[in-house]
């Protein structure tokens, strides 16, 4: 569970999302910010739990192997990891002023900011590799941290400031890059083993004497 917890923490990025959430909800009252955070986290949990339960069945129905899915998950994580390292946030921020918490809670907060493609793919992959119970436990813990972080976005933003939050987000981005590489390599190795392929291509083998 420890690997899933660390990985999902990096993928869902509660600390990195503080700045983005603050930019979206800066015109809200404290009650509205808490409401937006609660709706976003609840919707994210439903989506992640659904992928943890039905992810494998959906893949089997579509004829997609777990190895291919792990590689796809790793590739999907490269984009938010790059954004975190280069820009200090998982995606582009917006300056529009929403009128109600629901205007931002489902889109873009719940998806793609929190439960984006990379998080959904990683959840399905972890559910298959370490089990549903441990995956859901890790998701619940990280989403709980996310709710607390988003609810306290304004005081944290004022206390830490944008530069420190971006620095912390960049550190998380580096970890996320490493996790993405692990997903890709694990998927490739699983594909090689599953298809009984040699690691060295035939043309590159040294001919026997």
The rounded distance, in Å, linking the Cα atoms of 114 and 120 is: 10
Strands (E) located in 101-203: none
Give me the domain span that covers residue 48: 2-204
Residue 123 maps to a domain: yes
The rounded distance, in Å, linking the Cα atoms of 21 and 151 is: 9
Residue 178 maps to a domain: yes
Number of domains forming the structure of the chain: 1
- Cβ atoms of residues 190 and 68 within 8 Å: no
Calculate the average pLDDT of the chain. Answer: 79
Q: How far apart are the first and last CA of the chain?
A: 49
Query: Each residue of 43-83: pLDDT tens digit?
Result: 999 999 998 998 877 777 777 777 777 787 778 778 767 87
- Write the burial class of residue 90 (CB in 10 Å: 0-12 exposed, 13-18 middle, 19+ buried): buried
Residue 70 maps to a domain: yes
How does residue 88 score in pLDDT terms, banded at 50, 70 and 90? Answer: low
Closest CA to 14 of 183, 176, 177: 176
Residue 94 maps to a domain: yes
Residue 151: per-residue pLDDT: 92
- DSSP 8-class letter at 206: P
Closest CA to 132 of 142, 123, 141: 123
Q: Collect all residues with Cβ–Cβ distance below 8 Å to 148 and sequence separation of at least 6.
A: 14
- Cβ atoms of residues 32 and 25 within 8 Å: yes
Residue 209 maps to a domain: no
Residue 120 maps to a domain: yes
Query: Each residue of 150-198: pLDDT tens digit?
Result: 998 888 777 877 677 677 767 767 876 877 787 788 888 877 877 766 5
Residue 183 maps to a domain: yes
Could you tell me the sign of the dihedral formed by the alpha carbons of 60, 66, 68, 72, in that order?
A: positive
Residue 49 maps to a domain: yes
The rounded distance, in Å, linking the Cα atoms of 164 and 182 is: 28
- DSSP 8-class letter at 199: S
């Amino acid at each position: 569970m420890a690997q899933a917890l660390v990985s999902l923490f990096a993928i869902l990025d509660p600390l990195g999302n503080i700045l983005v959430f603050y930019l979206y909800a800066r015109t809200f009252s404290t009650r509205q910010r808490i409401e937006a955070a609660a709706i976003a986290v609840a919707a994210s949990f439903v989506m992640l739990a659904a992928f943890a339960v039905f992810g494998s069945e959906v893949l089997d129905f579509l004829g997609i192997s777990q190895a291919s899915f792990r590689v796809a998950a790793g590739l999907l994580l490269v984009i938010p990891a790059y954004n975190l390292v280069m820009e200090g946030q998982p995606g582009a921020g917006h300056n529009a002023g929403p009128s109600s918490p629901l205007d931002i809670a489902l889109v873009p907060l719940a998806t793609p900011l929190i439960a984006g493609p990379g998080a959904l793919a990683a959840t399905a992959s972890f559910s298959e590799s370490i089990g549903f119970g441990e995956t859901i436990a890790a998701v619940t813990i990280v989403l709980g941290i996310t709710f607390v972080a988003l609810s306290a976005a304004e005081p944290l933003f004022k206390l830490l400031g944008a530069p420190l939050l971006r620095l912390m987000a960049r550190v998380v981005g580096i970890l996320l890059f490493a996790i993405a590489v692990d997903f890709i390599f694990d998927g490739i190795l699983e594909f090689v083993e599953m298809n009984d392929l040699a690691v060295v291509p035939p043309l590159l083998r040294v001919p026997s004497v």
